[in-house]
């Protein structure tokens, strides 16, 4: 495991000089099968797989869960070894943001709306740390999950805009057998909340089916489907947003069309835990 940026750069430089392609997967750790699927995807694309494990403080708001975000570095290293991952970079915040650090990366359009609106500064923190990591690692391929769909588009855009020599690959959402999208934050859920949380995916599937059957539906049908599923769950829930967007541009959609480019994205609180999910249909 590597703690310091200089050492990571030196090792990655060596691999590139030897003509080996690097595949990169940035994470915040507390790894699950969703993360591992990205690592396997990186393995397909490259001879060397690099994973970062860093709970990035700058992408958390002041009232968010930075201090209690789940961590298990030892377990994470064992999971990385099972892939296998070649280099794990797990820096301390002080190595990533030394005194005097003052540069940010902001992807203006795509960071607005959805999670960007509800978590001010979140995508600036993400874009900045991912840009730093891409510069340090120099991967041919970097893999991101469609679970964080807006984040994936933000990263694609910054790689394009900054002409970073990397292919950004999106990987499908890995779900539990009951449909709940895997997330490190699922560890926060009480048993009752955990039992109820698959209703998010059910609502997304329902609305996709209804749109396919009807040919088109007003965008409000998505919110209505989520409200229907949440009603009677018997746990405290609060909808943060349910929105229909174009899956390429994130432009708002007034209608749900089964055209392969309709994104329905949502964020819902189960108790204090904010879960996100989405479906493109």
Residues binding ligand AMP (CB under 6 A) = 27-28, 34-35, 37-38, 144-145, 147-148, 171, 173-174, 181-184
Taking the least distance from each CB to ligand AMP, the nearer of 144 and 281 is: 144
Residue nearest ligand AMP (C-beta atom): 145
Which of 26, 281, 5 lies closest to 151, judged by CA? 26
The least distance separating ligand AMP from the CB of residue 99, rounded to whole angstroms, comes to 26
Please provide residue 124's backbone torsions phi and psi, each rounded to the nearest 5 degrees: -65, -45
The least distance separating ligand AMP from the CB of residue 59, rounded to whole angstroms, comes to 9
Which of 281, 224, 227, 230 lies closest to 257, judged by CA? 281
Taking the least distance from each CB to ligand AMP, the nearer of 28 and 50 is: 28
> How far is Cα 25 from Cα 23, in angstroms, rounded to an integer?
7
CB 117 within 8 A of CB 250: no
Q: Which of 15, 35, 122, 201 is catalytic?
A: 35
Q: Note if 35 is an active site residue.
A: yes
Helix (H, G, I), strand (E, B) or coil at 263: strand
The least distance separating ligand AMP from the CB of residue 222, rounded to whole angstroms, comes to 20
Taking the least distance from each CB to ligand AMP, the nearer of 59 and 256 is: 59
Please provide residue 228's backbone torsions phi and psi, each rounded to the nearest 5 degrees: -60, -45
> Cα-atom radius of gyration of the chain, to the nearest Å?
19
Taking the least distance from each CB to ligand AMP, the nearer of 211 and 245 is: 245
The least distance separating ligand AMP from the CB of residue 19, rounded to whole angstroms, comes to 27
Which residue numbers are catalytic? 35
């Amino acid at each position: 495991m590597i703690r310091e940026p200089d050492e990571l750069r030196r090792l990655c430089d060596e691999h590139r000089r030897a003509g080996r392609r690097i595949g990169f997967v940035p994470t915040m750790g507390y790894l699950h099968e969703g993360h591992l699927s990205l690592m396997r995807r990186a393995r397909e694309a490259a001879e060397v797989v690099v994973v970062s494990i860093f709970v990035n403080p700058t992408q958390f708001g002041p009232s968010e869960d930075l201090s209690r975000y789940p961590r298990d570095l030892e377990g994470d290293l064992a999971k990385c070894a099972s892939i296998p991952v070649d280099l794990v970079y797990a820096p301390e915040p002080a190595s990533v943001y030394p005194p005097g650090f003052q540069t940010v990366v902001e992807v203006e359009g795509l960071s607005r709306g959805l999670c960007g609106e509800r978590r001010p500064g979140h995508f600036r923190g993400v874009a900045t740390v991912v840009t730093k990591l891409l510069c340090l690692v120099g991967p041919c391929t970097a893999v991101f999950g469609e679970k964080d769909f807006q984040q994936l588009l933000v990263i694609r855009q910054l790689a394009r805009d900054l002409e970073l020599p990397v292919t950004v690959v999106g990987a499908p959402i890995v779900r539990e057998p009951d449909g709940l999208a895997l997330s490190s934050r699922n560890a926060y859920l009480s048993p009752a909340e955990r039992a109820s949380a698959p209703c998010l995916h059910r609502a997304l599937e329902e609305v996709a089916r209804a749109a396919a059957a009807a040919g088109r539906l007003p965008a409000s049908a998505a919110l209505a489907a989520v409200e229907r599923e949440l009603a009677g769950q018997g746990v405290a829930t609060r909808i943060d947003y349910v929105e229909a967007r174009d899956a390429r541009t994130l432009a708002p959609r007034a209608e749900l069309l089964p055209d392969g480019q309709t994104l329905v994205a949502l964020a819902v609180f189960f108790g204090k835990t904010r879960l996100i999910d989405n479906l493109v249909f």
